[in-house]
Structure 1
Amino acid sequence: MDAGIEGGQDDKSVRMELARLRQEHRDLDTAIDAMSLTGRSDALQLQRLKKKKLALKDRISTLEDKLLPDIIA
């Protein structure tokens, strides 16, 4: 029984983390777009933001796989 409860709590924490990471990903996307549109962006800073955004995307994918594992039928 305890494992089921733990699993439920784990699912909830994973979903909360996913929501936070998705919001951070959207925020970075907005910041990158704004920097690109203004033309006043620092190339190094823009590169760092894009790298961080990519790392967030990878983390999001990993967490999504935890929630929805591939089942081969």
Structure 2
Amino acid sequence: MHESDDPAAVTRRLAGLRQEHRDLDTAIARLALLDIDKNDDLTLKRMKKRKLWLKDCIAQLESALIPDEPA
């Protein structure tokens, strides 16, 4: 059985991704308040890119949890 076949595993993965997304959001907000130099600017961009990737992963997993309905 693959992880994507197990709704409980998908739900656990979703919870982890959502937590990481929230943590990144908090870290980005903190970093944005500081006077940032070039290195921090690059870090901020990487964090934002990771956050977007997480959002996409979350959306995919959420759609995987929705059962297919017959037409």
Aligned length, in residue pairs: 66
Q: TM-score, normalised by structure 1?
A: 0.79
CA RMSD of aligned residues (A): 2.0
Distance 1:70 1:46 in 2: 38
Cα 1:12–1:39 shift into 2, 3 Å? same
4+ aligned runs moved over 3 Å, structure 1 = 69-73
Structure with higher Rg: it is 1
Structure 2 stretches of 5 or more lacking a match?
A: none
Show the counterpart of 1:45: 43
Distance 1:16 1:38 in 2: 34
Aligned residue for 1:40, secondary structure, equals: coil
Distance 2:26 2:50 in 1: 13
Show the counterpart of 1:29: 25
Q: TM-score, normalised by structure 2?
A: 0.81
Q: CA deviation at 1:71?
A: 4.5
Identity across the alignment (%): 53
Cα 1:72–1:47 shift into 2, 3 Å? farther
